[in-house]
Chains A and B, each alone.
Chain A
Amino acid sequence: MLDTKQLSEIGFRWVTDNTELLTPYGQELARRPHFYKAEEADALRTEQDNMRELMRAVLANGDEVNALMRLLMPVKDIRRSISALAERTLTEVELFEVKRFLLQLELMAPQLKKLGTKLGGVSITAMPKALDLIDPDGTRSPSFYVSDRLSKRLSAIRAERRKVDEEMRRSGGSEELSIVRTRLAAEEEEENARVRTELCEKLAAYREELLENAASIGRLDFALGKARLAIKYGAVIPEVGARTLAFEGMTNPRIAEALADKGRRFVPVSLELTRGAVVITGANMGGKSVAIKTLALNAMLAMCGFAVFAERAELPVLDDIFLLSEDREDAMSGLSSFGGEMKAFDGMLRATEDKNTVLVLLDEFARGTNPHEGAALVRAAARLFNARSNAYSVIATHFDGVAKLARRHYQVAGLRNADQESLKAQMKSGSADALARFMDYGLYPVSPDEEPPRDAVTIIRALGVSDEFTKLIDIL
């Protein structure tokens, strides 16, 4: 499973942060997205259906959706008060919040119907009987006052109190009247508390229904937020449960945004995996890591019930997703980076052993050791995943001799197709941005015999690294 740092690094956090949520219930769902397990495939499908329905509603029925959103915005988290209903007497402010919630339900339930959507697991229902308890006068005003109607004694105390206040105002007050006033105020407070206790006991019968409404609001809010984000970015609902794992025209909005700031464009990535090892080779700076992160992001989004940033996507139900890269949370734990990577790899192997279907992504595996042994380690990993029938794996590497073991081989074109003459001319400027203009970030399927391109020296030159160094490179 991906750790917090990786979730942020691949852009998953970006997606949840950019999902606009209107209620604390929806925000909570987005804070801890749920990875649907194989046995929850039906629930995932329901969530996807809900998003489809809501995407349709947003596009066809925008005004009604906006009206619903306006009703969602002021919703507060009152679950603690609801849960407390059976245990203690709520304060007037808590009862105010409960009443407001009940009033919100009265408006929300019919508004949701207007969208004409069929949403699984989302049932927002008005609760007029509970509202009658808390608002026996039927004013339906958004304030809360313990009604006279709830207690004859309360009503009598208040009437007497009013008389005394009137008397005090007329006469300018006296010691005696003050004492009576204080006594009446205390009696009212006591009776008020008793009435509230009684009210809470009656409301306790509606606890489950209140909590279910709160949960439904959360699910609606979350699905609507995801649907709106999908429309905004042209994301699609993936087909989960397919026989193949294929993403066409994938993007990574977090990286795309960073590139756009520099006036550059994200080049969409397409990948089709088979069980066993798929290898990506390519130049330094050519976007291998970006491809791995983008796949990790979209696979994770798919399994957490989000739309994916791709033109088309299908994948089997994955039990787990692993990513081994420099961005691990344990990267600073005291082991050398090589030692840490190997321990993490070992942990991943053991954890995936008896899973049904897993996706394993290795970014520049074994980069921390010498190229001779490093290449051997990566080849071993490729053999291992070829032998395991439960794993889809992608290995990004620039070591030699790995691709020939791959079930499928993708390559980042890099500088291969760049016009060498104009590249040389540009090299004088020596900036990474100039280099980026010549770099082909596209990912192409190639034959397993194709060796990784040798662009390191070209890239060093294009970056304008000092001649004092480059003229000493002895393979020129």
Chain B
Amino acid sequence: MFYELIGGVKTLSVIGMCKNAGKTTVLNSLISECESMGEVLGLTSIGRDGERSDLVTNTKKPEIFVREGAVIATAEGLLREGDISREVLEATGLPTPMGEIVIVRARSAGYVQLGGASITEHQKLLRDELFSFGCDRVLIDGAISRKSLGTPTLADGVILSSGASYDPDVAVNAEDTAFIARLFSLPVYGGEGAGSRSRVAAVSEGEVHEAESVNELLPVIKGGAQALIFRGAFTDSTAKELLNTGKLLKDTLIVAEDASRLLLRGAGFEKLMRFTKGFEVLKGTRLIAVTVNPFSAYGSHYSGAEFKDRVADALERAGVRAPVMDVKNA
């Protein structure tokens, strides 16, 4: 179902809008497809705050199933939750609340529980380690938290999963999902100033002016800037600061590092899109697909076809081209 979509994507992240979005179903489907094609898979997850309490309250068995040969980076304390025969390949020393992250090779088929690193640098290290153990492709169990969209700096492809558990209102869900999908699909900026290291840089008439705040750059902005490039988090207050400049930015591109740095709400984003020339990112990612799960863990299910259609419609309006799939087909 996914295999023909992920050609060329070496590191693929599956990101859920909420719990029970059907992410595990998607992952298992990907694993099964890739393994059937003879691929050696590497698997890890993005560590989340409070993961431990999740595991205590939710005693469900691990659900990710791998074949013999897969390589898994996970917390040592989670090894016993799974049931593969394991060969320990490396003890990384990277800490998690459930012990250090170790890398094991599955010597039988079986279930695994993933618990990876929460620091981006560590995540990159793990990804590279997995490749060094001969993996053809690395799959990352990602998550959206309040803090971040997760993995764009890490993965070169993303599958976004949404489910009825996100919000009882199917319309709200479709819009929010389309918004996140849109952030993942932003075009890549190719102009000058991409190498700037300051908080913000303005590109004007071929010159790059670097500064620590938008205010410092006002004289340049008034003269007409082609692009404003931001390092670090881009939040609602950053958006507000820009909107305060009035109509000065109508010919200016707004550029963020990558989608994971965009921590603003849909409304702020829309406004900025209207007041500026548009939004781009320095490091892009490929949105492979959006999956929908009409069943809610809280009981308010959607009608399956309606959810899928609504998301497809919202994506189209947002100008995002990506297939929408129902997880029950996965």
Which A residues are closer than 8 A to B by beta carbons? 76, 91-93, 95-97, 142-145, 158, 161-162, 165, 168-169, 182, 185-186, 188-189, 192
| A145 and B87 contacting across the interface, CB-CB below 8 Å | yes
Q: Which residues of A contact B100 (CB under 8 A)?
A: 93
Given A93-B102, A165-B108 in contact, is the A143-B89 Cβ separation under 8 Å? yes
Q: Mark B178-189 against chain A: 1 for CB-CB distance below 8 A, else 0.
A: 000000000000
From B67, B83, B88, A189 is in contact (CB under 8 Å) with B83
* Most chain B CB atoms below 10 A, which of A76, A91, A95: A91
Q: List 7 A-B contacts (CB under 8 A).
A: A93-B79, A143-B89, A143-B105, A158-B108, A165-B67, A185-B110, A189-B80
Interface of B: prevailing SS:
mixed
Which residues of chain A are near B76, meaning CB under 8 Å? Answer: 91, 93
Contacts of B129 in A (CB 8 A): none
Task: Let me know if B109 is at the binding interface, CB within 8 A.
Answer: yes
**In the complex, what residues of A have CB within 8 A of residue B80's CB?**
189
Is B213 part of the binding interface, using a Cβ–Cβ cutoff of 8 Å?
A: no
Contact of B79 among A92, A97, A165 (CB under 8 A): A92
Q: Once the chains bind, are A182 and B83 in contact (CB under 8 Å)?
A: yes
Contact of A185 among B67, B68, B83, B87 (CB under 8 A): B83
Answer whether residue B107 sits at the interface, using C-beta atoms and an 8 A cutoff: yes
Chain A residues near B110 (CB-CB < 8 A): 185
Taking CB atoms, residues of chain A closer than 8 Å to B83 are: 182, 185-186, 189
Q: Which of B78-93 contact A (CB under 8 A)?
A: 79-80, 83, 85-91, 93
A93 touches B108 (CB 8 A): no
Of residues 10 to 28 in B, which have CB atoms within 8 Å of A's CB atoms?
Answer: none
In the bound complex, how far is the Cα of B145 from the Cα of A120, in angstroms? 57
CA distance A162 to B108 in the complex (A): 7
Determine if A144 and B87 form an interchain contact, defined as CB atoms under 8 angstroms apart. yes
**Candidate in B86, B88, B91 with the most chain A CB atoms within 10 angstroms:** B88
B319 → chain A closest CB, angstroms = 40
Q: A145-B85, A162-B108 are in contact. List 18 more A-B contacts (CB 8 A).
A: A91-B76, A93-B79, A93-B100, A97-B91, A143-B90, A143-B105, A144-B87, A144-B88, A145-B86, A145-B87, A145-B88, A162-B68, A165-B68, A165-B108, A182-B83, A185-B83, A185-B110, A188-B108
Contacts A145-B107, A158-B108, A165-B109: A93 and B85 contacting too (C-beta < 8 A)?
A: no
B108 touches A161 (CB 8 A): yes
B88 touches A158 (CB 8 A): no
- Measured CB to CB, the closest approach of chain B to A24, in angstroms, equals 11
Is the beta-carbon distance between B88 and A93 smaller than 8 angstroms? Answer: yes
- Please report the C-alpha to C-alpha distance between residue A168 and residue B85 in the assembled complex, in whole angstroms: 17
Q: Is the CB of A96 within 8 A of B88?
A: yes
In the bound complex, residues from chain A placing their C-beta under 8 Å from that of B91 are 76, 93, 96-97
Give Cα A168 to B91, complex, Å. Answer: 32
- Knowing A93-B76, A143-B105, A165-B109, say if A188 contacts B85 (CB, 8 Å): yes
Q: Beta-carbon contacts of B240-264 to A below 8 Å, as 1s and 0s?
A: 0000000000000000000000000
Separation of A91 and B77 alpha carbons in the complex (Å): 11
**How many contacts A-B (CB < 8 Å)?**
54
Q: Which residues of B contact A144 (CB under 8 A)?
A: 87-88
* Chain B 99-121 near chain A by CB (<8 Å), digits 1 or 0: 01010010111100000000000
In chain B, residues 281-313, which have Cβ atoms closer than 8 Å to a Cβ of chain A?
Answer: none
In the complex, what's the smallest C-beta–C-beta distance from B83 to chain A, in angstroms? 4
**B5–chain A nearest beta-carbon distance, Å:** 24
Cα distance A465–B299 when bound, in Å? 81
Chain A residues near B86: list those with CB within 8 A. Answer: 92, 145
Find chain A residues with CB under 8 A from B79 CB.
92-93
Q: Kindly list chain B residues whose C-beta atoms are within 8 Å of the C-beta of A186.
A: 83
B108 touches A143 (CB 8 A): no
Shortest beta-carbon distance from A372 to chain B in Å:
59
Question: Considering the chains assembled together, what is the distance between the CA atoms of A186 and B82 in angstroms?
Answer: 10
In the complex, which residue of chain A has the Cβ closest to the Cβ of B105? Answer: A143
> Complex formed: what's the CA distance from A161 to B76 in Å?
24
Hey, which chain B residues are within 8 Å of A165, CB to CB?
67-68, 108-109
Which residues from B are CB-within-8-Å of A143? Answer: 87-90, 105
Q: CA separation between A186 and B111, bound complex, in Å?
A: 12
Instruction: Report the minimum CB–CB distance from A149 to chain B (whole Å).
Output: 14
Closest to B89 in A: A143
Distance in Å: Cβ of A82 to nearest Cβ of chain B: 15
- Min CB distance B169 to A, Å, is 37
A162 to B87, CA, bound (A): 16
Which residues of chain A are near B88, meaning CB under 8 Å? 92-93, 95-96, 143-145
Bound Cα distance from A169 to B87, whole angstroms: 22
Cβ of A192 to closest chain B Cβ, rounded Å: 8
> B136-167 interface mask toward A, CB cutoff 8 Å, 1 = contact, 0 = none?
00000000000000000000000000000000
CB-CB under 8 A from A185, the residues of chain B are 83, 108, 110
Minimum C-beta distance from B165 to chain A (A): 26
- Give B44-96 interface residues, CB cut-off 8 Å to A: 67-68, 76, 79-80, 83, 85-91, 93
Q: Which of B85, B90, B91 has the most CB of A within 10 A?
A: B85
CA distance A324 to B200 in the complex (A): 53
CB-nearest residue of chain B relative to A97?
B91
Residue of A nearest to B103 (CB): A143
Contacts of B93 in A (CB 8 A): 76
Q: B80: nearest residue on chain A (CB-CB)?
A: A189
In the assembled complex, which residues on chain A have CB atoms less than 8 Å from the CB atom of B87? 143-145
The 5 closest A-B pairs by CB, nearest first: A185-B83, A145-B87, A96-B88, A165-B109, A144-B88
In the complex, the chain B residue whose C-beta lies closest to that of A168 is B109
- Give per-residue flags for B265-291: 1 if the beta carbon is below 8 A from chain A beta carbons, else 0: 000000000000000000000000000
Cβ-closest chain A residue relative to B84: A185
Smallest CB-CB separation from B133: which chain A residue? Answer: A143
Q: How far is the CB of A280 from chain B (nearest CB, A)?
A: 50
* Distance, CA A158 to CA B107, complexed state (A): 9
CA distance A370 to B79 in the complex (A): 72
* Residues of A close to B90: CB separation below 8 A: 143
**Complex alpha-carbon distance, A407 and B79, angstroms:** 72
A471 smallest CB distance to B (angstroms) = 48
> Which chain B positions have C-beta within 8 A of A182?
83
The CA of A357 and the CA of B87, in the complex, are separated in Å by 59
B125 CB to nearest A CB, Å: 15
- With a CB–CB cut-off of 8 A, which chain A residues contact B107? 145, 158
Q: Which residue of B lies closest to A189 (CB)?
A: B83
CA distance A188 to B82 in the complex (A): 12
CB-CB < 8 A to A168: which residues of B?
109
Q: How far is the CB of A164 from chain B (nearest CB, A)?
A: 9
Q: Find the A residue at minimum CB distance from B35.
A: A169
Chain A residue at minimum C-beta to C-beta distance from B82: A185
Q: Across the two chains, which residue of chain B brings its CB closest to A185? A: B83
**Smallest CB-CB separation from A144: which chain B residue?**
B88
- Distance (whole angstroms) from the CB of B330 to the closest CB of chain A: 16
Q: How many whole Å from A22's CB to the nearest CB in chain B? A: 15
Q: How far is the CB of A166 from chain B (nearest CB, A)?
A: 9
How many whole Å from A151's CB to the nearest CB in chain B?
A: 13
CA distance A168 to B100 in the complex (A): 33
- In the complex, what distance in Å separates the CA atom of A142 from the CA atom of B85? 17
Chain B residues lying within 8 Å of A162, measured Cβ to Cβ, are: 68, 108
With both chains docked as a complex, state the minimum distance between the C-beta of B86 and any C-beta of chain A, in angstroms.
6
Measured CB to CB, the closest approach of chain B to A462, in angstroms, equals 41
Output the least CB separation between A80 and chain B (Å). 13
